[in-house]
């Protein structure tokens, strides 16, 4: 799958604290052109905690030979994109690496349709309650 065909894309960036990622979603702009809009960034701590989720998402979409490298955009299909988007929104601001790893594993094993439903709830106005609820369900917080 090419980036132009993908519903989501992820790009790995290098920061002083380590590798991080930025997640994008394909949306329409004001001129009805399809563009990649930034959904969320994944901090270096959250990136290292979710390495298996992110590598699995890139491999599932790009084939077994696909590697998660810094620089280029990596395409993600709808299911894996929704899972990674949920993780990015859940992990935002959290610092406990063990809990982030548990959340990533729980989202990796979740259903893509369910993740898309949660992503829709979290991105609508007033979605903070949904984010808190999903954090509890995937065991990111106590």
- Which helix (H) or strand (E) segment is 104 a member of? helix 97-108
- Which helix (H) or strand (E) segment is 25 a member of? strand 18-28
What does the domain layout of the chain look like in residue ranges?
3-137
Of 92, 68, 49, give the one whose Cα is nearest residue 9. 68
Kindly tell me the number of DSSP H helices and DSSP E strands found in the chain. Answer: 6, 4
Residue 82 confidence (pLDDT): 96
Residue 66 confidence (pLDDT): 76
Q: What is the mean pLDDT of residues 20-39?
A: 89
Residue 12 confidence (pLDDT): 94
- Say whether 11 sits in a helix, a strand or coil: strand
How far is it, in rounded angstroms, from Cα 29 to Cα 48? Answer: 32
> Can you say whether the dihedral through the CA atoms of 29, 10, 43, 104 is positive or negative?
positive
CA dist 26 → 119, 128, 141 (Å)? 14, 22, 30
Q: Is the pLDDT of residue 65 over 80?
A: no
3-state DSSP percent of the chain in helix, strand and coil, to 5: 50, 25, 30
**For the whole model, what pTM was predicted?**
0.91
């Amino acid at each position: 799958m090419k980036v132009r065909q993908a519903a989501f894309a992820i790009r790995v960036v290098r920061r002083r604290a380590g590798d991080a990622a930025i997640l994008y979603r394909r949306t329409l702009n004001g001129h009805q052109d399809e563009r990649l809009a930034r959904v969320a960034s994944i901090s270096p701590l959250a990136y290292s905690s979710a390495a298996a989720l992110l590598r699995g998402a890139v491999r599932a979409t790009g084939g077994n030979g696909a590697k998660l490298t810094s620089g280029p955009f990596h395409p993600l299909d709808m299911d894996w994109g929704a899972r990674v988007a949920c993780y990015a929104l859940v992990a935002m601001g959290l610092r406990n690496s063990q809990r982030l790893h548990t959340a990533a594993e729980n989202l990796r094993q979740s259903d893509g349709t369910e993740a898309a439903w949660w992503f829709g709830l979290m991105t609508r106005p007033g979605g903070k309650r949904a984010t808190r609820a999903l954090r509890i369900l995937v065991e990111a917080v106590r």
